[in-house]
Amino acid sequence: MKSALGRYKVYIIPVTLTLLIFCLQSCENIFSPKLDNSPPSSILTDQKTVSGLFQNFIYSYTFKDTNVYSYLLTDDFVFTYRDYASGFDVSWDKYTDMKTTAGLFLNTQKLELIWNNIIYQSGSDTLQSIKRSFNLTITFNPSDIIRLNGFVDMTLVKFSDGVWKIRRWKDESF
């Protein structure tokens, strides 16, 4: 009399091979994932709209990306803020602003920027003046968090390739 295993031996080998082939085909190596060939979806825009420029601004702060931030500014960019201690406005150029912003990006754990309503907007197809409120939360560490609420007064320029950039930024935070 044949054992129970002997009766099913004929079926075990083909079933085992089928299961093994199925498992090998359906498994993915987590250390070597497949390439994603789907079209890229990015939260970056081509900056061909004013809202696209502000979206890229948020991206640059969220991901602390100085390359994206630099692309927001014209070569003749000027940043101005009020130094309340001395009682006068301070301005600097793109180079100084890039160094200052890079320092901010390097020395913070997290930046959260929210653009609020546009309070004032006027201009043409190639030059816009915009005043807008914002909220910025700067987290240096869990016990050192600064929350800023204020306004920006910006002059935006549209270049021949259709890209909007910031030429002048006056910070009106308190």
Q: What integer pLDDT is reported at residue 48 of this predicted model? A: 96
Q: Provide mean pLDDT across the span 35-43.
A: 63
The reported pTM is: 0.75
* Residue 26 maps to a domain: no
The tally of domains found in the chain comes to 1
Q: Are 134 and 150 in contact (CB under 8 A)?
A: yes
Q: What integer pLDDT is reported at residue 36 of this predicted model? A: 61
Confidence category of residue 4, pLDDT binned at 50, 70, 90: low
Q: Provide mean pLDDT across the span 8-32.
A: 62
* Residue 36 maps to a domain: no
Confidence category of residue 9, pLDDT binned at 50, 70, 90: low
* Residue 39 maps to a domain: no
Rounded distance between C-alpha atoms, residue 121 and residue 131, angstroms: 7
Q: What integer pLDDT is reported at residue 54 of this predicted model? A: 97
> Checking phi first, is residue 117 left (phi over 0); if not, alpha (psi -120 to 50) or beta?
beta
* Residue 5 maps to a domain: no
The percent helix, strand, coil of the chain (3-state, each to 5) is: 30, 40, 30
Q: Provide mean pLDDT across the span 40-58.
A: 89
Residue 108's φ and ψ, nearest 5 degrees, are -125, 150
Residue 28's φ and ψ, nearest 5 degrees, are -120, 140
Confidence category of residue 6, pLDDT binned at 50, 70, 90: low
In the predicted model, what is the mean pLDDT of the chain? 87
* Residue 7 maps to a domain: no
* Residue 37 maps to a domain: no
Q: What integer pLDDT is reported at residue 35 of this predicted model? A: 67
pLDDT exceeds cutoff 60 at 120 = yes
* Residue 6 maps to a domain: no
Rounded distance between C-alpha atoms, residue 56 and residue 78, angstroms: 19
CATH of the domain at 130: 3.10.450.50
60: how many CB neighbours lie within 10 A of its CB? 22
Helix (H) or strand (E) holding 89: strand 88-93
Domain that holds residue 92: 50-171
